[in-house]
Amino acid sequence: MLTIIWAGGQPGKISELRRMTQAEWEHLRNDLPTNVKTFIDCDEDTVLISHPNFSEKELVEISNFDGLKFSDGLIPVITKDEKGLVLMQAFSNLESLELSKKESLGIYFSRSRNQLWRKGDTSGHIQKLKRILAPDDGSFVVYEVEQEGAACHEGYYSCFFREQDRAGIKNLVPEIPFLGK
């Protein structure tokens, strides 16, 4: 499954998040307007579709997690910096959300390791959590963070350091700096 994020620019405003199969994405990708920018994350399981005309989804700061819609105990989390640049997408469970709030750090649930994951535990590139936001429908969460160092395990400030053209070729985005691992 892929996670597709729509944003009104990069940096920009979050418009939508949907999970879909690779085949559904390929079908949707063919129907996108030509002036849309498509960014692929480092793991190639999240796509950020960017266009300044995408409408902003209203996000509100949340203090509890009652209205969130978890699927198999997890909820997608979009992490962005204070300027609005989307840094990464991961998943959280209720425990990681509660710990994030308590510790004011970006804490997630690693599906591959089946355990909690504190961003920066091994790299030192931490995320100081400023706010937790969610849309009214509770379908995903947004962590607004102060990123210290690289958000991406490959050493880039954002996991969305490659833009994919219509032919599928991925090119580095010069505005996303490589900071080292």
- For residue 88, the surrounding DSSP H or E stretch is strand 86-92
* pLDDT at 17 (0 to 100): 97
The stretch 105-132 carries a mean pLDDT of 95
Q: How many CB atoms lie within 10 A of CB 92?
A: 28
Write the pLDDT tens digit of every residue in 125-146.
Answer: 999 999 999 999 999 999 999 9
Among 30-39, 83-92, 152-161, whose mean pLDDT is lowest?
Answer: 30-39
Residues above pLDDT 70, as percent of the chain: 100
* pLDDT at 180 (0 to 100): 86
Q: Where are the domains of the chain?
A: 2-172
Distance CA 106, CA 173 (A): 24
Q: Residue 68 pLDDT more than 80?
A: yes
Q: Residue 86 pLDDT more than 90?
A: yes
Tokens of 139: 């379908």
What is the CATH T-level fold of the domain 2-172, as seen in this structure? Answer: Ubiquitin-like (UB roll) (3.10.20)
The stretch 84-108 carries a mean pLDDT of 98
The stretch 157-180 carries a mean pLDDT of 95
* pLDDT at 10 (0 to 100): 85
* pLDDT at 130 (0 to 100): 98
When the pLDDT of each residue in the chain is averaged and rounded to a whole number, the result is 95
* pLDDT at 167 (0 to 100): 87
Cα of 119 vs its chain's centroid, Å = 13
What is the 8-class DSSP label of residue 55? Answer: P
Residues above pLDDT 90, as percent of the chain: 87
Polymer length in residues for the chain: 181
pTM: 0.95
Beta-carbon contacts of residue 113 (< 8 Å; ≥ 6 apart): none
Q: Residue 181 pLDDT more than 80?
A: no
Between residues 166 and 119, the one the model is more confident about: 119
* pLDDT at 166 (0 to 100): 85
170-172: strand order across its sheet: 12-20, 2-9, 46-50, 37-40, 162-164, 170-172
107 burial type by CB count under 10 A (0-12 exposed, 13-18 middle, 19+ buried)? buried
Query: Could you tell me the CA-to-CA distances from 15 to 26, 53, 96, 175 in Å, in that order?
Result: 20, 10, 24, 22
* pLDDT at 50 (0 to 100): 95
